Copies of this chain bind each other. A is one copy, B any other.
Amino acid sequence: MNKITPPEKLTIKDYASDQEVRWCPGCGDYSIVRAMQKTLADLQSPPEKTVFISGIGCAARFPYYMATYGFHTIHGRAAAIATGTKLANPELDIWVISGDGDSLSIGGNHLMHVLRRNVDLQYILFNNEIYGLTKGQYSPTSKIGTRSPSTPMGSIDSPLSATLYALGCGAKFVARGIDTKPKHLPEVFKRAHAHKGASFVEIFQNCIVYNDGVYDSFTAKDVAAERQIEVEHNKPLIFGKEKEKGLRMNSDKIELEVVTIGENEATEKDILVHDETNKVLATLLAQMEGPNFPVAIGVLYCNPSNTYEDAVHAQIAAEKKAHPSTNINDLLRSGPTWTVD
């Protein structure tokens, strides 16, 4: 075996593989892969213990571009495969990479179960509200009226909210990011990584070819400050160019409302403080949509609980203690036997 001395500190470049990137020029995926490489460098994640597992789709090509372990599996099943990998070796640091079709169309059930079971991995969903790889059909997150090759008259089914779905599945960590926020996104990734258990991150990602500008209403530079709210635990839920707006709870209607501080008797005291352990608040934040509400990004919910693989291995350890013999001959001879001679 060659003796390779690892460099003192791994840089962003050390996390990039030698494979030519095959996304369309201008695709939002480029910035996400960069954000991920930055994240790993910031975390100094050991490449040999880091595994990217993906399904199928443009997003799912992601593992090829990382100089870590990677498994490009089949459509919709990455969560299930990753569960097996994590159970088999809890030491591995697993990131699942998936698209909105991969995760929420064919793979919705596996996503639900990996979240419910709370397997310790990071599940990153690139939501471009479209099927990129198969050339632009509408997806379960596409807005009503989306014209696509399979819906030439416009789509008619209500889109699923990835984040609300994750909360409904019992996820213990739910966050959101945007492809074009190179500073915010790595921070979200790091929070997801720090959370022990299944961490769900939805990234609003622009597909320049089949769904260009689908998030412009809140990501375009000129409107971003008014249309986004970066939530942070224990910090007031304020936004706007001058941080002049905030969210207030209307407890009669049990719904949020946007207020401008100083207007209509709204004071800073009225502004809700984000509590990332409150699931109902997370639901309220996740529900917010333009044009009347800002879109919430950051960690909407984080409420750690026991992880699945820990419990699995605890049972194995207990059984090993209770039944120390692993001699096959003992096993075969358990129960009634008799001798013929």
Check A153–B315 contact: CB distance below 8 A. yes
Q: Let me know if A48 is at the binding interface, CB within 8 A.
A: no
20 contacts between A and B (CB under 8 A): A108-B112, A108-B113, A112-B160, A116-B159, A116-B160, A117-B158, A156-B311, A157-B311, A158-B170, A158-B305, A164-B170, A165-B169, A166-B168, A249-B251, A253-B278, A254-B278, A254-B281, A254-B284, A279-B287, A280-B280
Q: A281 to chain B: which residues have CB within 8 Å?
A: 254
- A158 B118 Cβ-Cβ under 8 A: yes
CB neighbours of A194 from chain B (8 A): none
The interface of chain A, by Cβ under 8 A from chain B, is 105-109, 112-113, 116-118, 140, 153, 156-161, 164-170, 249, 251, 253-255, 275, 278-281, 283-284, 287, 305-306, 308, 311-312, 315, 318-319
Copies of this chain in the oligomer:
2
CB-based contact A318/B158 at 8 Å? no
Q: How far is the CB of A137 from chain B (nearest CB, A)?
A: 15
Contacts of A117 in B (CB 8 A): 157-158
A157 near B280: Cβ-Cβ < 8 Å: no
B158 and A116 within 8 A (CB): yes
Q: Shortest distance in angstroms between A25's beta carbon and chain B's nearest beta carbon?
A: 33
Name the B residues within 8 Å of A255 (CB-CB): 278, 280
**Inter-chain contact A112/B165, CB cutoff 8 Å:** yes
Report Cα–Cα, A167/B106, bound state, in Å: 20
Q: Least Cβ distance of A312 to chain B in Å?
A: 7
